[in-house]
Structure 1
Amino acid sequence: MMNALGKQLAVAGMLVAGAAQALPEVVCRVEMDRDVVFAGQRQTAVVKVTLDAPVVPRREERPPVNLGIVLDRSGSMAGDKIEKARDAAIAALRRLGAQDTFSLVTYSDRIETVVPAQSASNTAWIEQKIRAITTGGNTALFAGVGQGASEVRKNLSRDSVHRLLLLSDGKANSGPSSPEELGRLGTALRKEGISVSTIGVGTDYNEDLMTLMAQNSDGNTYFVESSADLPHIFSKELGDVLSVVASRVVIEVEFPAGIRPIRIIGRDGRVGANTVQVSLNQLYGGQEKYALIEVELPESAEGEVRKVADARCTYQDMLANRSNTTSGQAMVRFSKKPEEVEQSVNIAVGKEVMLNRAVELQAQAIIQADNRDYDQAAETMGRNSAVLMDYADRYNVPELKEEAETYQRQAEEIKLKKVLSPTQRKEMKTRNYEIQNQQQSSLPQKEKKD
């Protein structure tokens, strides 16, 4: 029989082994834009629910990837564009491993499955097929995405990361072509666990269509003015795909009696009488995703402390291959002292609120410019800049100051030239998307244009 010391050593060994096998999990943080609010009056506040995703401990512990590339091969892609696209697709393939699946579909006025879904280890044959891609024809984008999704569906499983990477340099001109139609397709794919990341090349593609498809499927979106940047963009996207730590993410927030949710700032979701639900498809390791919820607080007495929100997040843990849950809550205290309210301001949360509210105004300015009301668009951007600059100066937030200066430059240029160029519009739409979806910038800061 095992003596007492032996039992202790055995238990210690089990604990050490268990600790070695333990994998990091998603953390849910719930914060207010200020921890102290005014007593004796109704008011609004913002709840920020943040999901902090852990870094993948080791490359070999990442989940398998099921990657489908949907490549525009219409006539406008001839020359350097298709050459760089082929190089980028091959570079993406080479970052995958034997456990991963790869497929590639091309579209013009006809759809071709160049690489049926198969192990990414078959690199020589796959690269040969990619190198043989040529250009010609129109742009049947909807059908291309549909066929790409069909290849990804051949290997759908809860333990894999499913991603479509769509590249286009022109407007969809064959088959369904409106942003709403492509947006609905993106929504349907997200329900299957498939995200679509979109890459627009040049200034002729429809950025409204591409951003809506990415948004509705919870993918990324990129504007590539020069095809020379395609390898960098593909590499950046593969970095995200290879670092997914959670999928099928659902944030549910409950509010106690007297706390009324008003709206979600910057994201789509469902707002009920006392609940809010936001769905995300995937979380990337080492990054944070969040939801900002504007709420109305009831009149409360001096010194009273109230719970404002209970947040619960369910997700598929891709590292441990199991369902998991994380939660958090937020509290506020009521005070009649303005200095206490001011001192409790959460500047980090306030920065995100200001950025997302600015995006809403920028979207209005884009619509005004589309309607050729350039003076009104410039006024909206100028007002946006002033609000951001005021907050930046008040709380010393350099990032907001940079955004404010960008908005001001855009306002002055639009007012002077009476035009919103295709490049400007695409940069605005892409930047708005990056902020609202917490997507890291697609190009290094030094390469980004004013």
Structure 2
Amino acid sequence: MTQPTLRFRPLLPAVAGDAASSLDLVITVATPPPPPDDAAAPRRPLNLALVIDRSGSMSGTKLSHARKAARFLAGQLTAADRLAIVSFDDEVQVVMPSRPAGDPQPFIAAINTIRSGGCTALHDGWLAGAQQVAEQLEPAAINRVLLLSDGQANQGLTHRGQIAEQVAGLSQRGISTSAFGLGSGFDEDLMGAMAAAGGGTLAHIESPAQLADLYASELRGLAGTVGRQVSLGIRAKHGARVADVLNDLPRTSYGNHQLPALRLGQELAVGLRLQLPAWVPNQEIASVRLAWDAPGEARRQTLIEHLTLPVRSAADLAQLTPDAAVAEELALLQANRDRRRALEELDRGDWLAADRTLSAAHAALAALSPTLRTMKELQLLERKRDLLRNDRNRARKGLSRESLRSSLQVWDDDGDAS
């Protein structure tokens, strides 16, 4: 079993003992690195359903690349894996029922028969794929639906909340969902809700030529998955209070915070602000409990860490130098939250307010010492501000995708999940 680690990274290394104060910190959840490429480490078997939108808007280049990428996916699996192929327009077709994937040729022949059609029964297509996975559900495997669509759900069930609720229900049973939006016409809110509820990957891709890279990245992520249904319970102690969680994470039924799946070689950062009364030395500030389901393990896994910090006077505390790496992490998380605010302003029709919000986020990051991460983030914000003036549909899609990076797995344009 691969054990993650929990680490507290406070912005300042102490708290005040003679006055109330706030404590900003980052909780880091880290997993060991993946084995070298040449290591013969076995991976968990995969039980997948690839669900492809074949509605009229997918005709031509989009569907051609979708078929090509699907053939690529089939060729990357082994006899220990299972794959089903489902396509949908206003009707659903199980192109290839779930079967072992050792021989890609039957899948390739089936994929080649997919032709574009009419409307977009997205929920019905996803459900048919989920049923294929459920019929072969294997607790020791990674069970996932990969949904690809370029449009809006306009046939059958279309209510975002109801669809997400069904996705979440299957996720509780061990069937996750990744949602891949293609082009400029897909429903980014629905795709984001499905990926979040399903504990999978969200991808917004502009070119169908990116699909093969996306599928390769998804397979690497699935192979490195060591924990799902991950939750983080934060309990403040002795009068301390959790004032804010910058990630805006979904809540579980137990009131804990839902994290993305744990993957090898990945760090998840959760930004936190605590409000403290005057603090007593050696007194515990908070405890954090990480819980997850490990593939092949019957019992839920847990890890608990406790936070204590030295106590100084408020005057001394004001003279301490903040940790620059922690300040950067908190600023990046805040920039994601600012994007969500800009989205709300854009949806109200106030693009100037959205531009001001993004400008303020840009200024906050520009005030930090430049690093590769902050420079990339500044470029992303500049790009979204430019799109607000020239293509607000694309601006909204980009803002939606980037705003979710601190709460679920999001595929980056360079082919990596972030």
1:5 is aligned to: none
* TM-score normalised to structure 2 length: 0.90
Which is richer in helix?
A: 1
Tell me which moved more, 433-442 or 373-382: 433-442
| Bigger radius of gyration among the two | 1
Q: Which of these residues, 396, 400, 417, is aligned with residue 429 of structure 1?
A: 400
Q: Over residues 171-207 of structure 1, what are the superposed CA-to-partner deviations in whole Å (9 max), with x where a residue is unaligned?
A: 1110122332332233222212222111111101111
Q: Is the 8 A contact 1:245 1:319 kept in 2?
A: no
Change beyond 3 A, Cα 1:371–1:337: closer
Q: CA deviation at 1:109?
A: 0.4
What secondary structure sits across from 1:105 in the alignment?
strand
Q: Is the 8 A contact 1:288 1:438 kept in 2?
A: no
Distance 1:402 1:443, change over 3 A: closer
Is the contact made by 2:287 and 2:306 (CA closer than 8 Å) also made in structure 1? Answer: yes
Determine if the alignment matches structure 1 residue 140 to structure 2 residue 121: yes
Query: 1:35 offset after TM fit, Å?
Result: 2.1
1:326 corresponds to: 303
The farther-off stretch of 55-64 and 93-102 is: 55-64
Report whether the alignment pairs 1:207 with 2:188. Answer: yes
CA distance in 1, matches of 2:310, 2:287: 16
Report the CA distance between 1:345 and its aligned residue. Answer: 2.7
Deviation at 1:25, TM superposition (A): 2.1
Q: Take 2:157 and 2:315, find their aligned partners in 1: how far apart are those partners?
A: 56
Long gaps (5+) in structure 2:
none
Residues in 1 aligned to 2:383 and 2:109: alpha-carbon distance in whole angstroms: 47
Which segment is superposed worse, 108-117 or 373-382?
A: 373-382
Q: CA separation in 1, counterparts of 2:106 and 2:278?
A: 69
Task: Answer yes or no: is 1:26 the counterpart of 2:26.
Answer: no
Distance apart, 1:81 and its partner CA:
0.8
Separation (CA, whole Å) in 2 of partners of 1:444 and 1:142? 27
Question: 1:47 deviation in Å?
Answer: 4.2
* 1:299 matched residue in structure 2: 278
Cα offsets for 1:241-263 (capped at 9, x unmatched): 12112223232233222121234
Given the alignment of the two structures, is residue 216 of structure 1 paired with residue 197 of structure 2, yes or no?
A: yes
Equivalent residues in 2 for 1:174-193, closer than 5 Å: 174-193=155-174
Q: Which residue of 1 aligns with 2:111?
A: 130
Provide the secondary structure at the position in 2 that maps to 1:63: coil
In 1, Cα distance between the equivalents of 2:191 and 2:226?
25
**How big is the alpha-carbon RMSD for the aligned residues of Structure 1 and Structure 2?**
2.6
Residues 308 and 331 in structure 1, CA contact (< 8 A), matched pair in contact too: yes
Percent identity, please: 25
1:136 deviation in Å?
A: 0.5
Relative to structure 1, the CA distance from residue 285 to residue 341 in structure 2 (aligned partners, 3 Å threshold; closer, same or farther) is: farther
Tell me the distance in 1 between the aligned counterparts of 2:47 and 2:277. 48
Aligned residue type for 2:385: A
C-alpha contact (below 8 Å) 1:30/1:311 kept by paired residues: no
Within-5 A mapping of 1:304-383: 304-318=281-295, 323-336=300-313, 343=320, 345-383=322-360
Among candidates 62, 74, 89, match of residue 43 of structure 2: 62
Structure 1: how far apart are the matches of 2:234 and 2:42?
Answer: 31
Query: Could you report, residue by residue, the CA deviation over 1:405-446 in whole angstroms, capped at 9, with x for unpaired residues?
Result: 5424543663xx3x652222212211222244364524259x
Q: How many residues align?
A: 413
How far did residue 55 of structure 1 move? 3.5
Letter in 1 for 2:329: E
Superposition deviation, residue 368 in structure 1:
1.5
Structure 1 gaps, min length 5:
1-22, 446-450
Question: Structure 1 residues 358 and 78 mapped into 2: Cα distance closer, same or farther (>3 Å)?
Answer: same
